[in-house]
Structure 1
Amino acid sequence: MATNPPKDGSRKGAVRQRSQVKNPKTGLWTKHDSETGRFLDVKTSSNKLFKGVRKEK
């Protein structure tokens, strides 16, 4: 299970059952749940990846 230690800003472990993919139209990263197949969140604050979430190929 992924945990976020206080004051550190790092993550111990990966978020399971989730991945991220880059939207080709907007260029923003989108979080995808593999259990339900739904798109969960779009990263609009910056152009960087979500922390601790694997990329889809």
Structure 2
Amino acid sequence: MATNPPKDGSRKGAVKQRSQVKNPKTGLWTKRDAETGKFIDVKTSSDKPFKGVRKEKN
């Protein structure tokens, strides 16, 4: 899991148990659990990807 230091607010490292992929139909980013392959979350607040989560290759 990525760590967030208490003072500067930046993330150190990537979230290792997650990946993300862009849905071609909706254009939204979807977060997936790397161990089970289940979809976890969809980012609807903006069209930018989740921070600190690796992207899957197509």
User: TM > 0.5 between the two?
Assistant: yes
CA RMSD of aligned residues (A): 1.4
Q: How does the TM-score come out when normalised to structure 2? A: 0.85
Unaligned runs of 5+ in 1: none
Q: How does the TM-score come out when normalised to structure 1? A: 0.87
Aligned length: 57
Identity rate, percent = 88
Task: Quote the residue 1:41 is aligned against.
Answer: 41
Q: Which has the higher strand share?
A: 2
Moved over 2 A (4+): 5-10
Aligned-residue offset at 1:34 = 1.2
